[in-house]
Amino acid sequence: MSVSGTALAMDQYLELEPPKTLTGRGYGYNSLSREYVLRQCVQFGGGLLDGSGASGDEFKFSSIISNSQLADEMNLAVTAKFSASMGVASANASSKVDFFQSTKTNFLTHTILAKYNNVEPMKFIAGAINLKPEYLAMVGTPAFRQQCGDYIVIGEQKGRWFFGTVQLSVRDTATESRLAASGIVGVQYGTFSGEVGVSTINKLKQASNTQDLDIHVTSSGTNSASLTVDQFLAQVQAFPGQNGPKQTYKLMAVPYEDIVANWPVTDPLAPMTAEAKLTRLAEAAWGLTALIDDSDFVIQNAKLFALGTTPGKRDARVAYVKARRAWYQGQLADMRNRAKDCDVDWAGHPACESLYNNWKDFEDFVVAEYDQFPVRYVSDCYAARDVSDAIMDKLKLPLNQTRGQFSNTKGDREMGGGPVNFSSNITFKSDFTGGDPLATRKLLSTLKIRMEESKADHTTFETTLKTPVFDLSASNPKDGTLGQCAYKDAGVKAEWVHPDGEGACAPLKVINKKEYDKCVAAIESVKHHGMLSGKTGEDPRTETFNKNSRGVLASMQCTVDSDSGNDTPMIGCSSINLRSIQLDLVNTQDVAADKWVAPKNLDVKQLIQLSKPNLDRSKLLREALTPKKLVAPKLTRCSEGLVSVAGRCLPKLKK
């Protein structure tokens, strides 16, 4: 049978979610009102045929980013999917459908689903099915649909199941950063990463405040709400081993005229549906709903997103999101208005096919839309971050290793009992060695130290230490990640200081004003983030210099002389003390956002993008947003009385 022929055959079988009211094999279903009929209008024997559809016996964890994905993971019937997506679901829906409708998912909410299914094969009515005499007389009148519906339930599947979600809507960058450091979301774009399981749920718990986690549970035994992650995981682990009751999991119905032996007319009572196309419209409706919710989140929490480095850029990006949000809302309202009866009579409503043709390429559309969404911050690049202690720790070992390693640049190797002139300066910059400057991860400090004998031969010892003192690539689950950050300018928020040009050039001032100004400019052009100088008394040894400090360099302890005739082995420094040093960072995604240009016409489905999307991000978005292709079931050899339709064993119909 061709693919279209198989789809047409499956459209005659209507898979339904059980209601809260009484139902079962032989009961009716009214597809127009989407309600079950609380009576059996037919008579049949007590024999049953085992169909297909039995499940395994294991838990599965999934990362969920859309209601379409959630519906697939919960194996919801197409009728339930469509009704829920169009906002016309029955008020008498099962607890499973209630759970689904109360779980709101979207791209910017982290959702993990835990599910367990252990269900039997679908059991169908065996033998002939006939209308009872009192209802046979009603066929062809409105009373029949009112009393019996237009479909008859012919199959019932029972079993045990458990569905539970843990959801986290992160409203601060610090939490998102900890999630990235834990490997739950990607560092650059914040997309959910890798496989999920118990460890992922525990990481969500550790990275966030408990009150921010939203937990829902439904099962065939109970609908209790878990109060904590630990209670939720305890339910997950305990449920498979419990001896709970088996309940109705799924029902199967067909039109009366397709199976009832004594049906007297040839005109169909139940109109034909188109399940595959209904599913596509449901996916599009849920996708537009998610785009609306995610747009609202961006608009209300703009500070959490990379919108650009200037207020003007940030305002323009928010204005774009607001405009597209209004367009999504209009499209969703139009779709729901025109498609509300497509599950009742697809062929009888031309708008159904038109809507399908417009939205059948929804994956391409939604990826293109999210491509224009701003990237979420996963690094708190703009938070105050004092790194003075970390820098001093990094400098401690190199400083101690300077003993005996100073260069003797002038005079003999003996300081001669002093006095000794001491000077030091420290400068920071990103350790850029080529390529993209924003990709530089390390901050480099250059510390220069000079000691000069204040006597005739001016014996001088000097050294320069170049030390990586901070690394943006380092991260941990407690503090988060700085993976999105780059060094801005010098990488530290510290004022530049320079030597006293006016004092050094003072003798020139009365002789040649022009030369004096040039002298001052030349000396003061040599800038550092910290400077320190001092002069010892006679016979110095290990001295602390702290009186003439400027900028971030507060003090140093150094050995400047010894009792030996060769001071080289003893010259060195043992400690450094720095004032507060704040990192100066920029988020690389903000730099990228500066290049974004809004499309000119925002009131169309296919935007003409003026800014090229990032290919890596587009790939991640497509992987996350595209529904997983379901593997077609293998053809099954069915028992007598059943036929194979689309890989499933179902009762043979009259046509």
pLDDT in tens, 277-301: 898 999 999 999 999 999 999 999 9
The domain segmentation of the chain, as residue ranges, is 3-378+615-651, 388-494+529-580
Half-sphere exposure of 300 (CA within 13 A, CB side): 12
Tokens for 135, please give them: 């209802």
**Cα 591 from Cα 373, distance rounded (Å):** 15
pLDDT in tens, 389-425: 999 999 999 999 999 999 999 999 999 888 999 999 9
Any alpha helices (H) in 107-228, and if so which ranges?
Answer: 133-136, 142-148, 173-181, 198-207
Query: Is the pLDDT score of 238 beyond 60?
Result: yes
Tokens for 36, please give them: 């079950």
> In the beta sheet, which residues pair with residue 48?
125
Helix (H, G, I), strand (E, B) or coil at 253: strand
Mean pLDDT across the chain: 88
Query: Is the pLDDT score of 589 beyond 60?
Result: yes
Report the pLDDT value the prediction gives residue 189, as an integer from 0 to 100. 67
Which of residues 650 and 226 earns the better pLDDT score? 650
3-state secondary structure string across 396-459 = HHHHHCCCCCCEEEECCCCCCCCCEEEEEEEEEEECCCCCCHHHCCEEEEEEEEEEEECCCCCC
Query: Is the pLDDT score of 267 beyond 70?
Result: no
> Tokens 């038109």 belong to which residue?
354
Phi then psi for residue 123, to 5 deg, are -110, 125
pLDDT in tens, 490-515: 999 999 999 999 999 999 988 899 99
